[in-house]
Amino acid sequence: MIQSTDRMTVDLSIGQYLIRRLQDYGIGDVFGIPGDYVLSFYTQMEDSDLNVVGSTREDCAGFAADAYARINGMSALCITYCVGGLSVCNSVAGAFAEKSPIVVISGAPGLCERSSNPLLHHMVRDFDTQMKVFEGLCIAGAELSDPVTAFREIDRVLDACARFKRPVYLELPRDMVDVVPQISHTYRKPTFPSDADALRESVEEAGRLLAAAERPAILAGVEVHRFGLQDSLLALAEATQIPIAATILGKSVIRETHPLYVGLYEGAMGRSDVTKYIEDSDCLLLLGTFMTDINLGIFTANIDPGRCIYATSEQLRIHHHHYHRVRLKDFLHGLIDVPPVTVRRPIPASLVKRESVTFEVKAESPITISRLFHRLNEQLDEKTIVIADIGDSLFAASELVIRDRTEFLSPAYYTSMGFSIPAALGAQIARPESRVVAICGDGAFQMTGQELSTLVRHHFDPVILVLDNQGYGTERRLHHGQWKFNEIQPWAYHRLPEIYGGGRGYEVFSEADFEAALTDAWQNRTGPSVIQVHLHPDDHSSPLHRLAERLSEQV
């Protein structure tokens, strides 16, 4: 890591300095697709220690970078001007919404090419059109067009990515990549300390309220993941013995077999016993929790702000008191340093995690969503990363028991279909020793399933479950009727490994089929395993049923 007093030599080009700074943040891999405006920078990356991972489409590269960032802490994505940059907008938007820190690097026409405003290929309207688009999708951005300020701008933008855990944007004109600024440069890491008085008073007030509570509880969210505060959360919970629930976006914030973990809180969409336990709390400590519609069960949550301590990276509110300039990490550590003495709140037997009932195969029975996930749950261990796409892939997977922390990835707030297969690539690059299970509906697979080709190319071995219910199953539940717009062309998904030249495919109709396929796939480490699971179009999970009851009234 470059320290704040290191003086950078003047023989680094702008492109080389950017590569060095990416590595300083622990980024060892860059996702993307090359194009002529960014080929010089791609050459520099390939000549460096960075591993360049090519994808089949820019949006796939974006989803892969998103998953990599969630596991690694930060990621990088490199694409060409406009045709590449604008193709990746949806992935970057999702990363912004869910606080996934991606450094988006785009090539651009050279400055010398822009005189007289020529109509260069890929250009849309003006040369700065793409820059303006990404201003709305990123927390910070810069065009590296001035050698005097380029190093400083790189530092500023990367610092913002690390601080806010959101995407940032750097646009690199192709004739600036090899420019060596004739200036000395010193990187000084910025600091953003909490206001000491506000921190002290907020910790004291929160401590008093928790100590006086009869039914305290913690609701943990995704920012605990993003800011690496899992150990701190556990330290506080274990010191005070306060039970913990998680939001769907924060699922796996701690291992779900921990004795203080009570389950997912999703308002009326979730399990009623978890909902009651959290909403009955007379002092609810919300840590890093986004108050989104999905997290709150389509706004069916009954959480009284007058009984809440709401702490995120962006605000701290205790009951109706607002504290400014208090960092989430500092607030959490302040409570740990002087943990309040709290009442030990009993956890009902229904919320205590026990070993699930052993799955007994009903050989001839058609496989169903609930039975599939019951069997899959037995297969998971502490080295398994579960990636759930949108729809019943997510809602059914919410009931899986994750054995380790940060082992469940899903775009559970932005809810963009097509996340899972590219995300499997990002997860495998970030943690190649882990076993990745990607759960994807047939509709979502048809959007980005071609990234299976990249998984084959790199000899990765994820287990991919394609839930084939012949169309958009979630929409069927939300908007009743036999609507043709929910139908899609059937594919022989299990035959795709033959097309892509690697891996194995399985076709599943019954429980016996699924048992045999999952067992064989788990033992196969030679390439991807694609398990096509034929489901009845009307089959759905209990969480999806609860969601549909709430949301169908609105759609």
Please give the residue that has the higher pLDDT: either 470 or 23: 23
Q: Residue 403: pLDDT band by 50, 70, 90 thresholds?
A: confident
| Residue 220 exposure: Cα atoms within 13 Å on the Cβ side | 32
Number of domains, the chain: 3
The amino acid occupying position 417 is M
Determine the pLDDT at residue 367.
Answer: 94
Sign of CA dihedral 510, 512, 513, 514: positive
Domain of residue 251, CATH code:
3.40.50.1220
CATH number at 110 reads 3.40.50.970
Residue 122 has pLDDT above 90, yes or no: no
Residue 298 has pLDDT above 80, yes or no: no
**Does one domain contain both 332 and 428?**
no
Q: Residue 361 falls within a domain, yes or no?
A: no
pLDDT at 19 exceeding the cut of 70: yes
Q: Which of residues 186, 214, 247 is at a domain's end? A: 186
Encode pLDDT of 458-476 as tens digits. 999 999 999 998 877 676 6
**431 and 322 part of one domain:** no
> Do 135 and 182 sit in the same domain of this protein?
yes
206 and 176, same structural domain?
A: no
* Pair 44, 169 in one domain: yes
Q: Is the pLDDT of residue 481 over 80?
A: no
Tell me how far apart the alpha carbons of residues 69 and 61 are, in angstroms, rounded to a whole number.
Answer: 12
Residue 336 lies inside a defined structural domain of this protein: yes
pLDDT of residue 497: 97
Task: Enter the tokens of residue 451.
Answer: 């990234």
Mean pLDDT for the chain overall: 90
**Among 215, 406, 202, CA closest to 311:** 202
Residue 296 has pLDDT above 70, yes or no: no
Is 170 part of a structural domain of the chain? yes
| 352 in any annotated domain | no
Same domain, 115 and 181: yes
In a 13 Å sphere around the CA of 508, the CA atoms on its Cβ side amount to 34
Residue 353: inside a domain, yes or no? no
* CA atoms of 548 and 107, how far apart (whole Å): 44
At residue 542 the predicted structure's pLDDT band, cuts being 50, 70 and 90, is confident
Domain identity same for 63 and 104: yes
The answer as to whether 362 is a domain residue is no
> pLDDT category, 79, cuts 50, 70, 90?
very high
Note whether 245 and 217 are within 8 A (CB): yes
DSSP code, position 35: -
Residue 357 belongs to some domain of the structure: no
CA distance 491 to 445: 10
Give the tens place of pLDDT for each residue, 414-447: 889 999 999 999 999 999 999 999 999 999 999 9
Same domain, 331 and 431: no
Q: Identify whether residues 235 and 200 lie together within a single domain.
A: yes
- Contact, 528 vs 503, CB < 8 A? yes
Residue 541 has pLDDT above 50, yes or no: yes
pLDDT digits (tens, 9 = 90+) for 161-207: 999 999 999 999 999 999 999 888 989 888 899 999 999 999 999 99
For residue 493, the model assigns a pLDDT of 97
Element housing 134 (H / E): helix 129-135
Q: How confident is the model at residue 457 (pLDDT cuts 50, 70, 90)?
A: very high
| Per-residue confidence band for 77, with pLDDT thresholds at 50, 70 and 90 | very high
Residue type (1 letter), 519? T
Q: Report CA torsion sign: 397, 399, 402, 408.
A: positive
On whether the CB atoms of residues 103 and 77 are closer than 8 A, the answer is yes
The arithmetic mean of pLDDT across residues 532-543, rounded, is: 86
Give the 3-state secondary structure of residue 438: strand
Query: In which domain, by residue range, is 415 found?
Result: 369-551
Question: Angle of helix 58-72 relative to helix 89-97, nearest 10 degrees?
Answer: 30
Check the CA dihedral 28-461-60-388 and report its sign: negative
Domain boundary residue among 153, 186, 219?
186
The verdict on 322 and 419 lying in the same domain is no
Q: What percent of the chain has pLDDT over 90?
A: 69
Last residue of a domain, one of 159, 186, 213: 186
Alpha-carbon torsion, ordered 135, 450, 507, 534, to 10 deg: 40
Q: Is residue 41 domain-shared with residue 90, that is, in the same domain?
A: yes
Distance between CA atoms of residues 424 and 428, nearest Å: 6
In this prediction, residue 5 carries a pLDDT of: 42
- Alpha helices, DSSP H, located in 168-247: 196-212, 222-226, 230-240
The whole-angstrom separation of Cα 403 and Cα 388 is: 16
Within-domain flag for 478: yes
pTM over 0.85: yes
Q: 């940060």: which residue's tokens? A: 406
Say how far residue 267 (Cα) sits from the centre of its chain: 22
Count of CA atoms in the C-beta half-sphere (13 A) of 432: 7
- Residue 66, beta-bridge partner list: none
Angle at 165 between CA 224 and CA 106, to 5 degrees: 150
Residues 435 and 493 in one domain: yes
Given this model, what pLDDT does residue 420 score? 97
The token duo for 65 is 């970078």
pLDDT bin (cut points 50, 70, 90) of residue 128 is: confident
Q: Please, what sign has the CA dihedral across residues 292, 254, 543, 366?
A: positive
pLDDT at 445: 96
Portion of the chain with pLDDT greater than 70, in percent: 90
